[in-house]
Amino acid sequence: MSSRRAFLRAAAGTSAFLAAPAILRAQTSKSLVMMTPFGFIPDFIEMMNAISGGHYAAQGIDAKLLGGQGMAQPIQQLITGQAHFIRASGIDVMRAIATTKVPLVSIATIYQGSTFHVVSLADKPVSKAEDLKGKTVGIVSVGGSTEIFLDLILAKGGLKKEDVKREVTGNSPGAMQIMKQGRVDCFIASIQVVVALQRMKEAVEIWSTDRYAPMPGQCYVTTKQLIESKDELLTRAMKAMRASADEIMTKPLKPIFERAGKDFEIPGIRNIDDLVEVEKVTAEKLWLSEGRANLLRNVPSLWKSGADALRENGIADPGPSDTLYTNKFIDA
């Protein structure tokens, strides 16, 4: 297992990878590189634990985890052969396929449900899509996933994009104050923010974007070329990821975070009890939203629903939904 210093060197050297040859230098069949889209935030604990908990070592794999700085970076690393698989949202994968025409493939889905939820005040609830007409809605970023989900929700409710105003409120509990000030009527945020607001006893009404736009939440993504050339390696990698997920769901979480914190710079690790509570809710509501039997599986109906919604609303055309995923590694 690599040391903290080694991981920091690896993360800092990500930009250097972009100029390197497409095939990793001096890489053996048992070496593997995976990458997150946003550093080593607690949300990626199952990837960190796969290394810190020895699950990759048990599969005979020397694994490295790199922390990205935005979704575009890991997708580029994957396309250029610098990573074997990355974690990405289903909506970003489908948009990337439509834009780059690169055959990206999901080999597992860790979030079966959407991390994004619509939050409004309990005494001024925005309870359904139709309620959004004439409202000001907080989004995480312009042109990002939350704005696209908003467009899909509006379309399902028979509304037009111009029927709402939009304001960037970010992805933190601070959006609650913006709403209380009346600058927005509701906002869209991740499950981490939702859990924080619930722990703060805020009086809010919350519902998932899955109500109107169900699709895979977070996936492990590779390329068709790597599937063909690294079949055995990816099979063992998914065994390691499954073992890590099983440990997180069945063992005390605090020691798992503490162990991972020795190898990775995890933001907020000093408030470890908060991290533990968020992860408990994440695993229960997002990992298992399609049932325990579907843990890490790509659910065909979710991929079809997502691809159809993006295509029908003119947002992106990722092609036939059954080309976007494979369950061969999870089945193995």
SS (H, E, C) the chain: CCCHHHHHHHHHCHHHHHCCCCCCCCCCCCEEEEEECECCCHHHHHHHHHHHCCHHHHCCCEEEEEECECCHHHHHHHHCCCCCEEEEEHHHHHHHHHHHCCCEEEEEEEECCCCEEEEEECCECCCCHHHHCCCEEEECCCCCHHHHHHHHHHHHCCCCHHHCEEEECCCCCCHHHHHHCCCCCEEEEEHHHHHHHHHCCCCEEEEEHHHCCCCCCEEEEEEHHHHHHCHHHHHHHHHHHHHHHHHHHHCCHHHHHHHHHCCCCCCCHHHHHHHHHHHHHHHHHHHCCCCHHHCECCCHHHHHHHHHHHHHCCCCCCCCHHHCECCHHHHC
At the fourth CATH level, which superfamily is domain 4-113+216-331?
Periplasmic binding protein-like II (3.40.190.10)
Strands of the sheet containing 104-111, edge to edge, are 62-67, 31-36, 85-89, 218-223, 104-111
Q: What is the mean pLDDT of residues 34-52?
A: 97
Residue 284 has pLDDT above 60, yes or no: yes
Most confident of 11-15, 18-22, 244-248, 282-286: 244-248
* Domain ranges across the chain: 4-113+216-331, 116-211
What's the pLDDT score for residue 216? 97
Average pLDDT over residues 84-95: 96
The Cα–Cα gap between 219 and 111 comes to 7
Whole-number average pLDDT of the chain? 91
Chain segment 97-125, per-residue pLDDT in tens: 999 999 999 999 999 999 999 999 999 99
pLDDT tier for residue 14 given thresholds of 50, 70 and 90: very low
* Predicted local distance difference test score (pLDDT) of residue 71: 87
Report whether pLDDT(312) > 70. yes
> Do 4-113+216-331 and 116-211 fold alike per CATH?
yes
Backbone torsions φ then ψ of 11, nearest 5 degrees: -65, -40
pTM over 0.85: yes
Q: Does the structure show a pLDDT above 70 at 274?
A: yes
Tell me: pLDDT of 41 over 60.
Answer: yes
Q: Is the pLDDT of residue 276 over 70?
A: yes
pLDDT given for residue 287 in this prediction: 96
Instruction: Give the pLDDT mean for 201-216.
Output: 97
The residue-averaged pLDDT of 275-281 equals: 94
**Least confident interval from 15-29, 209-223, 229-243, 268-282:** 15-29
Name the CATH topology of 116-211.
D-Maltodextrin-Binding Protein; domain 2 (3.40.190)
Q: Which whole number is the average pLDDT over 87-101?
A: 94
